[in-house]
Amino acid sequence: MPNFPIVDTHLHIWDLTRLRYPWLASVPAINRSHLIEDYRRACGPVAVAKMVFLQCDCDPVQAQAEADWVTEVAKVDPRIRGIVAWAPLEKGEAAGEAIAKLAANPLVKGVRRLIQSEADVGFCLQPGFVCGVKLLGRHELSFDLCLNHRQLANTIKLVRRCPGVRFVLDHIAKPDIQAGLLDPWRAELRELSRMENVWCKLSGLVTEADHAKWTSADLTPYIEHVVECFGFDRVMFGGDWPVSTLASDYPRWVTTLDEALSGSSPDELHRLYVRNAEAFYRV
């Protein structure tokens, strides 16, 4: 366990009495409200100094309302230093108004529009989507890339087309850890890491493994490859709570990651758990 307070770059909270999250109907284990008070309890002995909230895919018409609600929650728990909100990037220039409104909120640091849920592996290369992503650079907003490993090759092309945008890869592109699959994810991740405007979160690994039977040995090859590719200057910690509870409690994930990085220096660990997150999300 880190012996200093950390920054969690991937927090989800939702209140089902306020907003609609249709996708939760297919995940009954977490189909209830998860509030900031629940997160505090879930952290247990892990000291979290700052958090970045990630949009939770509510009904798209409520995306601005979600960002507004989290802004209010941040007044109750000021450890919430950043918001990554949803915007309809596939609309291209027509998304400009929604992006500008989000950018007017100083807590909003970036945008996430899920790629993983799109059946078309070429979705992220549609001209409208590429245009929408480019708009983020005008407002100094970053883009969280959330996809599965089958979409990684096209995501590399997206990033090449948007050199003026800072990207962070969520959940290491969701490789099939349960099946022990490393390739072509391994080579594609290395190619993505060569672009210096891309960072990577060590997050979401437990839910790509066998939820009931995963061990630290299952995750270690993936953790090591991420660090090898991105180095300790462009990786950051993410808790992915409460989605992560499908496979692990919060302290177990932190402990597993810490053990996998046991050969790292104190400075390297502090960069991964704190300083990189502060720099990327400007918190």
- Residues 39-61: pLDDT tens digits? 999 999 999 999 999 999 999 99
Report yes or no: 235 and 276 within 8 Å, Cβ to Cβ.
yes
Ranges under pLDDT 50 in the chain: none
What pLDDT is stored for residue 210 in this prediction? 98
Pairing of strands 142-145, 108-111: parallel
Bridge partners (DSSP) of residue 197 are none
Phi, psi (5° rounding) for residue 131?
Answer: -60, -45
Q: What is the CATH number of the domain that holds 44?
A: 3.20.20.140
DSSP character for 240?
A: -
What pLDDT is stored for residue 34 in this prediction? 98
Q: How far apart are CA 169 and CA 189, in angstroms?
A: 10
Q: Is there a domain that residue 182 lies in?
A: yes
Concatenating the DSSP letter of every residue in 125-152 gives: GSHHHHHHHHHHHHTT-EEEE---GGGH
Q: Is there a domain that residue 27 lies in?
A: yes
Handedness of CA 87, 90, 94, 100 (dihedral sign): positive
Q: How far apart are CA 36 and CA 33, in angstroms?
A: 10
Q: How far apart are CA 233 and CA 247, in angstroms?
A: 28
In which domain, by residue range, is 131 found?
6-281
Q: Closest Cα to residue 167, out of 139, 122, 116, 133?
A: 133
Q: Is there a domain that residue 1 lies in?
A: no
pTM, two decimals, is 0.97
Report yes or no: 239 and 253 within 8 Å, Cβ to Cβ.
yes
Q: Is there a domain that residue 135 lies in?
A: yes
Report the side by side order of strands in the sheet with 48-54: 6-11, 48-54, 80-85, 108-111, 142-145, 167-169, 198-202, 235-237
What pLDDT is stored for residue 1 in this prediction? 81
DSSP H or E stretch at residue 65: helix 63-76
Q: Is there a domain that residue 204 lies in?
A: yes
What pLDDT is stored for residue 203 in this prediction? 98
Q: How far apart are CA 160 and CA 16, in angstroms?
A: 38
Mean pLDDT for all residues in the chain? 98
Count up the domains in the chain and report the number.
Answer: 1
Q: Closest Cα to residue 97, out of 134, 127, 123, 135?
A: 135
Q: Is there a domain that residue 231 lies in?
A: yes
Q: Is there a domain that residue 228 lies in?
A: yes
Torsion of the alpha carbons at 118, 120, 126 and 131, rounded to the nearest 10: 20
